[in-house]
Amino acid sequence: MRITVQSSKLLKPAYGRGVPSITTNIAIPLTIFDKVACDENVSGVCFFHPPAPPKAILEIGFGKALSSYREWAGRLAVDAYGNHCILLNDAGVRWVEATSDVPLSSLSLLEQTPEMQSLCLSGIENGEELMVVQITQFVCGSFAIANTMHHLVGDGHGMCRFMIAWAKATRGVAIDRVPVYDRASIFKPRNPPRVDFEHRGVEFMEPHHEEKSCINRVDSSNNTVVVHRVHFTPAMLSELKSQGSAGADWPYSTLQCVAAHLWRCITKARGLDGNVVTKLKIPVSGRQRMPVPEEYTGNVVLWAQPAMTVWELVTSPLQHIVELISREVARIDENYFRSFIDFASSGVVEEEGLLVRTTELVKAMDGNTSIFVSNMKGVPLDELDFGTGRSFLFTRSHPPIEGFVFIMPNLSSDGGMDVQVGLFSRAMDIFKDYCYSFITANAKL
């Protein structure tokens, strides 16, 4: 497949006829949740059936959406007090229009192939833009919209809200929820502060601390990371949920049962020593745990980190693993979020020179003994419609990462679940054997 870039330019917010452009350099300090988010660009691609809307109409709608979501047209900066912030200077978003010489049907849409990554070919060219949009037209009339966004500006929910606002503006529908710019006022510490949980070694770590569980002790220089898509049918999900909830007073969530199964299968495939501690790192949104405005676009995510030795994990029944996951996720409640706010706002982080531990997760993922989960299943991408029909698929578009599990949003109604798993090629066939034989034997498929 050949991707040809037809144009590349900066797009700025469009405030409408008679409304002057806003040129003030308002600085929005990053919140403590923004600061512990991954300091990385994240990419995703939405796919649409034909017909494609005229690119001029998409561009007009995009400018209107940017006038409400100005953060994405801004730049990361440091204010006069040394605080990292988002500068609302309307510098613009990189807008790329491209064409493909093949029909969409020739792509393996559910695999992280080089062809799929080329749909975000432009990347962030000079490192300053907080968003890059690439619209690729296929010869069959289908089209793809790829977004590369900086994670410090927003989490998956916040990114999705902008995309939906863009789609509404393109259809001529009013953007009914204007985002909140005053981020700091939402997460004020309590007076007096109350730190009820340990946050050192969890969200933060000491300088020069070597986290053994995140260091690959095996020479992996000759290993290639590959991605496999696991499709869980409704029957598989039902069987996993039945096993994971055996003996429990109430059924555990399907997501937790799937995560437990994948954690165990991946760990078996890695062939790690039984005494090694492995963690499952699961994002927990604070939007359902604290009063956070729906229109807030910044980050509100912490991490549940259930841990077991490899021997415990591979020998325990699924129900025991699911119970541990459920307990750790439930522990990250409003009290935990409030404790984190008080700790991170107390000045201890600066005084002790603590480092953000979560920033290191993706960077240290190569050869990791733990698993990093990204869950987009609850993000409302099914609302994404630019006037010619809703998106039928959303997937990540980045180089494969070992130990990265991506739970894809369900844009269909079949009741199944698709999950992408990244592992070293030497472990992938072993993973497949464990994953499918375990489910097949029990679900009788």
Same domain, 142 and 239: no
DSSP-derived secondary structure for 358-399: THHHHHT-TT-SSEEEEE-TTS-GGG-B-SS-B-SEEEE-S-
193-209: pLDDT as tens digits: 999 999 998 899 887 65
Question: Where in the sequence is the domain holding 43, given as residue range(s)?
Answer: 3-187
Share of the chain above pLDDT 70, in %: 88
Same domain, 325 and 233: yes
Same domain, 425 and 362: yes
Dist. CA 217–CA 275, nearest whole Å: 14
Q: Which residues pair with 21 in a beta bridge?
A: none
Dist. CA 52–CA 41, nearest whole Å: 27
Residue 136 inside a domain? The answer is yes
Residue 32 inside a domain? The answer is yes
Is 101 an active-site residue? Answer: no
Residue 205 inside a domain? The answer is no
Residue 245 inside a domain? The answer is yes
Same domain, 296 and 419: yes
**Catalytic one of 333, 366, 382, 385:** 385
Same domain, 303 and 421: yes
CATH number of the domain bearing residue 319: 3.30.559.10
pLDDT at 165 over 60: yes
Same domain, 181 and 325: no
**Between the CA of residue 289 and those of 51, 284, 293, 299, what are the distances in Å?**
41, 9, 12, 14
> Is the CB of residue 338 less than 8 Å from the CB of residue 194?
yes
Number of domains within the chain: 2
Same domain, 84 and 172: yes
Residue 419 inside a domain? The answer is yes
pLDDT of residue 130: 95
pLDDT at 401 over 90: no
* Statement: the pTM of the whole predicted model exceeds 0.95: no
Helices vs. strands in the chain: H and E counts, helices first: 12, 18
Is 385 an active-site residue? Answer: yes
Q: Give the tokens for residue 329.
A: 């996720």
21-73: pLDDT as tens digits: 665 678 899 999 999 998 888 889 999 999 999 999 999 999 999 999 999 99
Residue 200 inside a domain? The answer is no
Residue 282 inside a domain? The answer is yes
**Catalytic one of 151, 199, 261, 398:** 151
> Is the CB of residue 260 less than 8 Å from the CB of residue 326?
no
pLDDT of residue 205: 85
Of the candidates 187, 210, 232, which is a domain's last residue? Answer: 187
